[in-house]
């Protein structure tokens, strides 16, 4: 089977002649590339950040000698985590009239991933008019379609100020334990700064891609040059700031290990500053056009109240292949959704299917991406090495306009490891295929720990009613009702991908969850009750919704994917993996279900007493 396609990857894409897809040849190539990358160690290939590697987690953006007296008081709501989820929870609880809201955050400020990821070139990959929540409430308009990290970080601090979340917040503080006290009907909170306070309710917004992940490379601790992870960018060494201008690299040979969404954004900035840049690639990303541009003031002035929610719904509807009257966002994401819209099954980022028709459309999209590489990258060998061979949604897609042209610079070398990864790290540099690359600096753009379970990212356990721990309950995977409540954990609400419906704009789900939690907390406050808790039956019912009807097409799709964090590195069945616990109908249906539940008004599935 073959098809003729014409190139166009959405928006102002690179024009290209039509190309033809040889389906059988592509299938074979996909299989071969996948096999090359599979490792029996799966998720366990990545080392634990202990011993000499523990320093990669340290926060370089704070005063390490910071101290404060321990806190001993009571608050209405404890929010664990001050990223997008925690801030949304704080904002919606504040809107609902909750007085004492305490956000506890490991980092030195609000911002979550936007606090940590200050690497040069960092910007949101989902349009900022959708990704930055509460724009109508704060009266803020992002300056660009895809805002850069300094603006996003500043905006999230503005959200904290607007909703008065700073006064009670505790930064540079990690929760060590939460214990439910049945006598007081409150959670007792323990932290690593010896705080002991009580909270009537707990919102768990501790995030998903939190802990930096290092590559499993022999000798990783032996390198004697400078080394850091992208989420702890060392501007003290590189000079410059998130906009680049890293003069400290002018005489340096820099190696970036990893070619995911982060590397796509930071490598072009490093290339501008470094004497030499080597990019060590295991699997190429799909790189589609970005087309960023400043916000048009006339467009911003034309927006009518309710515009942000409408735009968000439009975006997620397209992700699910639904008909919309207009593609409001019109970018690389929506282009892919339109192209692959005949897919049937909701994968984390868009619909897909293992049907032949869907497979063919997917191959056409990948071929467009290949054609774009050929049209930009001058060196043929480099261009070939940059071509991804897997289904589009197998990995998080990338969007950038500077990454591919960067390989035409004389100071940039792609070191393709043919799916094997870097062989070893030595005191002087990096070895690939027997060749040593001497380096002054190694940057690990190797992502975040995913797939070791919810509590591994949170970093502490919850002890609920009758001494039952959450770690016991969730040992074999999550068990919630509606994604929020665990049995025996009164007044505790989970946010994020905990058996919820998610989409490429993760904020869509977080915001709905925040409103939902504020509603429930308010309902408890309005009654004379002191606790709200899920029934076991409601949890069982939700397990049926989440796991009761596994879709063989989706399973096959993932089994055929090249390994990555979506598939727990090829271990699709990992019960703690990102795929294991998703609401199968997607974010829109999930949000509708929650809204209908609220409208029905009986708090079905919950015991309030």
Binding residues vs ligand NDP (CB under 6 A): 37, 123-125, 209, 215-217, 257-263, 265, 280, 282-283, 396, 421-422, 445-448, 564-565
583: tokens are 């609401």
- Alpha-carbon torsion, ordered 391, 393, 396, 397, to 10 deg: 70
Treating both helix axes as pointing N-terminal to C-terminal, what angle do 307-319 and 332-339 enclose, rounded to 10 degrees? Answer: 40
Treating both helix axes as pointing N-terminal to C-terminal, what angle do 506-526 and 586-600 enclose, rounded to 10 degrees? Answer: 10
- Nearer Cβ to ligand NDP (60/216): 216
Least distance between ligand NDP and beta carbon 398 (Å): 8
- Nearer Cβ to ligand NDP (507/539): 507
Least distance between ligand NDP and beta carbon 223 (Å): 14
Least distance between ligand NDP and beta carbon 500 (Å): 16
DSSP per-residue string spanning 515-548: HHHHHHHHHHHHSS---EEE-HHHHHHHHHHHHS
Least distance between ligand NDP and beta carbon 318 (Å): 18
Give the separation between CA 589 and CA 423, rounded to whole angstroms.
45
Q: Is 271 exposed, middle or buried (0-12, 13-18, 19+ CB in 10 A)?
A: buried
- Nearer Cβ to ligand NDP (124/156): 124
| Beta carbons within 10 angstroms of residue 345's beta carbon | 22
Least distance between ligand NDP and beta carbon 449 (Å): 10
- Nearer Cβ to ligand NDP (220/470): 220
- Nearer Cβ to ligand NDP (151/195): 151
- Nearer Cβ to ligand NDP (531/567): 567
Side-by-side strand order, sheet with 253-257: 226-229, 441-444, 253-257, 276-281, 412-416
> Is the distance from CB of 484 to CB of 504 less than 8 angstroms?
no
Least distance between ligand NDP and beta carbon 116 (Å): 11
What percent of the residues of the chain are helix, what percent strand, and what percent coil, each to the nearest 5?
A: 35, 20, 45
β-strands 253-257, 441-444 pairing: parallel
Least distance between ligand NDP and beta carbon 357 (Å): 27
- Nearer Cβ to ligand NDP (283/499): 283
Give the separation between CA 145 and CA 140, rounded to whole angstroms.
13
- Nearer Cβ to ligand NDP (282/508): 282
- Alpha-carbon torsion, ordered 597, 598, 600, 604, to 10 deg: 60
* Among 322, 391, 394, 333, residue whose Cα is nearest residue 360: 391
Give the separation between CA 501 and CA 508, rounded to whole angstroms.
10
Least distance between ligand NDP and beta carbon 18 (Å): 30
Least distance between ligand NDP and beta carbon 492 (Å): 26
- Nearer Cβ to ligand NDP (280/407): 280
Residues 6+ positions from 63 with CB-CB distance below 8 Å = none
Give the separation between CA 237 and CA 51, rounded to whole angstroms.
23
Q: Phi/psi zone of residue 77: left (φ > 0), alpha (ψ -120 to 50 degrees), beta?
A: beta
Least distance between ligand NDP and beta carbon 418 (Å): 11
- Nearer Cβ to ligand NDP (31/68): 31
- Local structure of 131: helix, strand or coil: helix
């Amino acid at each position: 089977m073959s098809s003729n396609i014409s190139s166009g990857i959405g928006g102002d894409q690179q024009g290209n002649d039509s190309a033809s897809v040889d389906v059988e040849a592509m299938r074979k190539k996909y299989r071969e590339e996948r096999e090359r990358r599979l490792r029996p160690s799966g998720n366990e290939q990545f080392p634990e950040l202990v011993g000499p590697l523990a320093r990669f987690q340290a926060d370089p953006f704070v005063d390490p000698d910071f101290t404060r007296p321990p806190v001993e008081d009571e608050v209405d709501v404890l929010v664990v985590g001050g990223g997008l989820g925690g801030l949304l929870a704080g904002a919606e609880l504040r809107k609902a009239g909750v007085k004492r809201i305490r956000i506890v955050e490991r980092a030195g400020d609000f911002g979550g991933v936007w606090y940590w990821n200050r690497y040069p070139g960092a910007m949101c990959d989902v349009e900022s008019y959708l990704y930055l929540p509460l724009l109508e409430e704060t009266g803020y308009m992002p300056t660009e379609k895809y805002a850069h990290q300094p603006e996003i970080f500043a905006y999230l601090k503005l959200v904290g100020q607007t909703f008065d979340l700073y006064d009670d917040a505790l930064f540079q503080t990690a929760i060590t334990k939460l214990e439910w006290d049945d006598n007081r009907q409150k959670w007792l909170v323990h932290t690593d700064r010896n705080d002991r306070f009580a909270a009537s309710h707990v919102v768990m917004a501790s995030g998903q891609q939190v802990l930096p992940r290092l590559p499993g490379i022999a000798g990783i601790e032996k390198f004697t040059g400078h080394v850091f992870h992208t989420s702890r960018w060392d501007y003290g060494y590189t000079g410059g700031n998130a906009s680049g201008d890293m003069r400290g690299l002018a005489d340096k040979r820099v190696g970036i290990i990893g070619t995911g969404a982060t590397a796509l954004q930071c490598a072009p900035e490093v290339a501008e500053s470094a004497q030499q840049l080597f990019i060590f690639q295991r699997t190429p990303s799909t790189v589609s056009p970005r087309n960023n541009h400043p916000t048009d003031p006339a467009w911003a002035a034309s927006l009518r109240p309710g515009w942000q929610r409408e735009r968000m719904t439009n975006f997620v509807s397209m992700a699910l292949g639904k008909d919309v009257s207009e593609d409001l966002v019109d970018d690389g994401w929506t282009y892919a959704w339109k192209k692959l819209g005949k897919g049937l099954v909701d994968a984390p980022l868009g619909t897909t299917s293992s049907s032949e028709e869907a497979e063919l459309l997917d191959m056409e999209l990948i071929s467009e991406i290949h054609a774009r590489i050929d049209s930009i990258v001058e060196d043929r060998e480099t261009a070939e090495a940059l071509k991804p061979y897997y289904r589009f949604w197998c990995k998080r897609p990338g969007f950038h306009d500077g990454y591919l042209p960067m390989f035409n610079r004389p100071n940039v070398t792609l070191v393709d490891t043919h799916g094997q990864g870097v062989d070893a790290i030595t005191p002087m540099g990096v070895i690939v295929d027997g060749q040593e690359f001497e380096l002054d600096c190694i940057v690990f753009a190797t992502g975040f720990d995913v797939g070791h379970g919810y509590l591994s990212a949170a970093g502490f356990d919850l002890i609920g009613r009758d001494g039952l721990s959450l770690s016991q309950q969730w040992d074999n995977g999550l068990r919630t009702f509606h994604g929020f409540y665990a049995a025996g954990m009164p007044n505790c609400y989970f946010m994020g991908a905990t058996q919820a419906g998610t989409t490429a704009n993760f904020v869509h789900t977080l915001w709905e969850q925040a409103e939902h939690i504020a509603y429930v907390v308010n309902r408890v406050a309005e009654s004379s009750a002191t606790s709200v808790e899920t029934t076991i039956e409601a949890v069982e019912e939700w397990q049926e919704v989440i796991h009761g009807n596994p879709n063989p097409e989706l399973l096959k799709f993932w089994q055929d994917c090249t390994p990555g964090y979506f598939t727990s590195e090829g271990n699709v069945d990992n019960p703690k993996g990102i795929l294991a616990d998703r609401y199968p109908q997607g974010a829109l249906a999930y949000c509708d279900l929650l809204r209908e539940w609220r409208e029905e008004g009986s708090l079905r599935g919950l015991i309030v007493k």
